[in-house]
Structure 1
């Protein structure tokens, strides 16, 4: 994709990916990477920041002799996701207003 993703949009993608269920780091990375071109080395600092800011919590669970760290959306994270979604809708509508040629859609 040629468009750069900003931190607010990346935050929204991470929070949204965790809305249905907790995910461990690798699974979360793969889910986000399915829609956004991002590396694991970029995503893990975002996860640490979101955890530090109280939007995510974590727990460890053993798996095949190792621990997997799972990320969970907190209540604050859920409210922030709602806020970011509303901001996205407004932003997308403004972008569509200038980028989408209505004649090309017809």
Structure 2
């Protein structure tokens, strides 16, 4: 499978989780796992490099906070991150509709209609 597709999808899922409320890395892992019914079991080795990449791209901002007596780095979406997530959602919907059409998983609509 194309690693760019996988990377882009993982980043989109992470942005989605963070868009709901500021959160920290482990909580992102757990939320993606739960919301995907166990289909996306992200590992810390891919999560943190992706978080740092999204932060460098100014899509996320980070700040330190406490949770249950432990210091955690919380991430929140920036305005650019919200715009980027909206674009990724649209791309995903178009991509998945195309794939589902070819696989016969959705009704066919006349092209250009």
Scaled to the shorter chain, the TM-score interval is: 0.7 to 0.9
CA contact (8 A) 2:12 2:85 kept: yes
Q: How does 1:62-101 map to 2 (within 5 A)?
A: 62-101=66-105
Could you tell me whether the CA contact under 8 Å between 2:17 and 2:31 is conserved in 1? yes
CA distance in 2, matches of 1:29, 1:85: 20
C-alpha distance after superposition, 1:47-95 (max 9, x if no partner): 0100111000001013354311101000000000000000001001101
Deviation for aligned residue 1:25: 1.4
TM-score normalised by L of structure 1: 0.84
Q: Given that residues 58 and 72 in structure 1 are in contact (C-alpha distance below 8 angstroms), is that contact kept between their aligned partners in structure 2? A: yes
Residue correspondences, number: 101
Which 4+ residue blocks in structure 1 deviate beyond 4 angstroms?
A: none
Alignment of 1:28-67 (within 5 A): 28-34=28-34, 35=36, 36-67=40-71
Rounded Cα–Cα distance in structure 1 between residues aligned with 2:50 and 2:84? 15
Q: Which residue of 1 aligns with 2:22?
A: 22
Q: Which has the higher contact order (CA 8 A, sep 6+)?
A: 1
Unaligned runs of 5+ in 2: 107-113
SS in 2 for 1:54: coil
Conserved? CA contact 2:29–2:41, under 8 Å: no
Hey, what does 2:8 align to over in structure 1?
8
